[in-house]
A and B are shown apart, each in its own frame.
Chain A
Amino acid sequence: MEYKEIIEIFKGAAANPGGQAGQWKKEHEGKIFGFLLTDVPEELVHAAGFLPYAVNAEEGMLDFADAHLQTWACSFSRNSLAAAVQGKLSFLDGLIIPQTCDTTRMLMGIWKHVRPLSFMENYRLPRQVDRPSAGDYLHGELKRLKERLEDFRGREIKEDELTESISLYNRNRRLLRRLYMVQVKTPQLLSSKDLFTIIKASMVMPREKVNFLLEQLLAACEAVTGSDHKVERRRLLISGTLLEPLELLDFINEKGGLIVADDLQNGSRYLEADAAENGDPLEALVQRQLKRMPSALYEPQKQRRAKYLVNLAREKGAQGVLFLHLKFCEPENYDYYDNMQAMEKAGIPAMRVETAFGGIPPGQLQTRVHAFMEMLGGEDVD
């Protein structure tokens, strides 16, 4: 297959995630377990034999959420619930919500009453990650979730089954990290939006198929060396909880911008940190979770997020930082002042834009992103 054809397959899945999931269900007579982004151990769900499916901005009509969730809840939670209310997630057999903020702590109760499924569980993540109690507790919580999945499927999830799934997901993360580098080194082959679209698609497609496609895609892309050299690209770090709308990346690329790093839940935070493939697999998942990059959702005792971001920007040679504020996302908003101060001190130009899930990206966002890129000296790319 031509590499462009492979990209099109991913684009198709991202544009119609429910369609391809429904297709899979019909073909495999399997069960699909939805999860909210993104700190859910998909490996466990996969080892149980179910297809993990990221509920991620199915094009819903937000009005459908109005009777159940206030308009001042973030558009991610409202969009997800609206999709469920509208019946756009009717192929789901189960749902796992990671409790990472006040909204995700409250959403399951509403969802249960609005669209009950036969399996619905909260994944109660520890919010402090540095003290010994966090690891012990998380091991217990993963064990609880594993037992619930075992009850549902009617038999035990064996250690080697889980290790196999871990290995599959590790491979997937490695491939996606390589693809990230393709976007940085040869942006003429893969736009930033294509990269993040592939990440998004991989969260809803069977991972074996994703890995198969990614290997072919990488083989084609990595054979090409050297950038187009038409313009000098501006290197950007983007930071926030969730990236949406993905059109935002086009606004960056249009003005000669390139994403060299990020700390997004549906970006690098999803791709980094592999789990060990030897020893107790549950413990491997515990360690992977606790060692992930700092985020607004967890209390950072040892590694302050602002400092981490400055170091990341320097290490990747970022010339600017774009902070994304998903409107109504409290945790992210509380971190902004510290992050911004740190960038100022480090002499790294930074700007914040407000974003939301659903609907057409507003022109204002484009204007602001373009203005920032021009400030960084970015030039138009044809």
Chain B
Amino acid sequence: MKELMADYYTRGAEAKEKGIPVAWVTAVFPVEIIYAAGLFPFYPENFGAVASARKLADKLSSAAEAKGYAHDLCAYSRCGLGDAHSREHPVGEIVKPDLLLCCNTQCGSLSKWFEVAGRFYEAPYFLLDAPQIGIEPDELSKQYYTAQLQELIAFLESFNGKKFDYDRLREVMAYANEACRLWNEILETAALKPAPFGFFDACFHMAPIVTWRGTPQAVNYYRNLQQELENRIKNKVFAIENERFKLYFDHIPLWPKLRWFSDICASHHALVAVSQYTHSWAYSFDLERPLESLAENYTEAFVNRVFDYRIQRKIKLMQRYDVDGFMLFSNRSCKPNAFGLYDKKNIISKITGLPGVVFEADMSDLRFFSEAHVLARLEPFFEQLESA
């Protein structure tokens, strides 16, 4: 996996050398269009996650903070902006964009970061705007998004100086369908009792579904992983020892403390089996009507939905994986996922009868992490779980 990601960064640098334009892109953006347009997609969020996992987010952030960006902004963006304003590049320099493409379903932090980066690197920026959707999808939002996909394609045609290739788009979408299908089958193995695979494994293996969906490499990667999981099941190799409990987790992991956190869960024989986060990439495209289908899949994702839909979605996942409890991470860096969690916890517990816990920390920045606080929240939760 590490080699594959290293290869991805090398390819980014190579793309630059070969004159293939590098497009900065966000995780829930229809990357299928970028691949079809022959551009190299680069994910600055992935840069932020890598910096965070290596415990370098604080260091990069300080360069951004010196320019007036407050430490309460999304830490991924502080990593990216810090790298831009810094002479030192402890994670390796971020691949500079030739153009920036952002969809704001995930959050507004990304769209502001990309806007700022567009000015900094003097590269054109395109915002794919997605109004929030209620319990039921609405035609108005879908039409708006589809119209913008057409504007995006016109923007790319003008950037590339050539016509957009819809046949190539269908080909890319077919690869994306296959990768998503495999990825979701892999995630389903976490429902087995005991399971060979859990959320922390998924965090480790998710980069290809985020960055390469739409390529044969992603399909091959997940075919191999699926094979490996079948072997694990045959040989009775499981994700944790003596699995007793299954848990649901919201949302992005605590990257710099991933191991610490997973060890705590394992010590209680609790497998974090499922999260809306890793289930985000579950697209199923209709190749006969590519743009509408992209619009439906991308705007109807949970990140673009209201409070009550998100509760329903979480409960459905909890039921499907038959979990014994749930943990909700109030992530300072991620307002849209954190705001509402306090009430959601109470509502979900009331509906399902499951024990739940909310804890405060940051996905990247250890200045907002207190081991004592997290433990003080988790310990009573595990006690409750064990006494149930």
Residues of A within 8 A of B (CB): 67-70, 72-73, 99, 101-103, 105-110, 112-114, 122, 124-128, 131-134, 136-137, 140-141, 144, 296, 299-300, 304, 325, 327-328, 330-331, 333-338, 340, 352
Contacts and interface: CB of A to CB of B under 8 A. Distances in A.
Given A99-B132, A336-B68, A338-B119, 10 more contacts: A68-B342, A70-B338, A101-B108, A103-B335, A110-B343, A327-B70, A330-B109, A333-B70, A333-B72, A352-B68
Contacts of B38: none
A337 B115 CA distance: 12
Contacts of A304: 119
Given A334-B116, A337-B67, A109 B111 contact: no
Contact of A109 (B74, B127, B148, B306): B306
Contacts of B68: 333, 336-337, 340, 352
Contacts of B144: 126, 133, 136-137, 140
30 contacts: A69-B339, A70-B330, A70-B332, A72-B72, A99-B131, A101-B108, A106-B307, A108-B306, A109-B307, A112-B307, A124-B141, A126-B129, A127-B108, A127-B129, A133-B151, A134-B129, A137-B144, A137-B147, A140-B140, A299-B125, A300-B115, A304-B119, A333-B68, A333-B70, A334-B73, A334-B109, A336-B68, A337-B69, A337-B116, A352-B68
Given A106-B307, A106-B335, A133-B144, A69 B342 contact: yes
Nearest to A109: B307
A330 B73 contact: yes
B343 A114 contact: yes
Contacts of A299: 111, 115, 125, 127, 129
B147 A103 contact: no
Q: In this complex, which of A101, A106, A340 has the most chain B Cβ atoms within 10 angstroms of its Cβ?
A: A106
B111 A131 contact: no
A79 to B, nearest CB: 15
A334 B147 contact: no
Interface residues of B, number: 45
Main secondary structure on A side of the interface with B: helix
A337 B70 CA distance: 11
Interface in B3-55: none
A338 B116 contact: yes
Contacts of B310: 109
A120 to B, nearest CB: 11
Contacts of B132: 99, 105, 122, 124
B30 to A, nearest CB: 15
A333 B108 contact: no
B216 interface: no
Interface string B229-273: 000000000000000000000000000000000000000000000
B287 interface: no
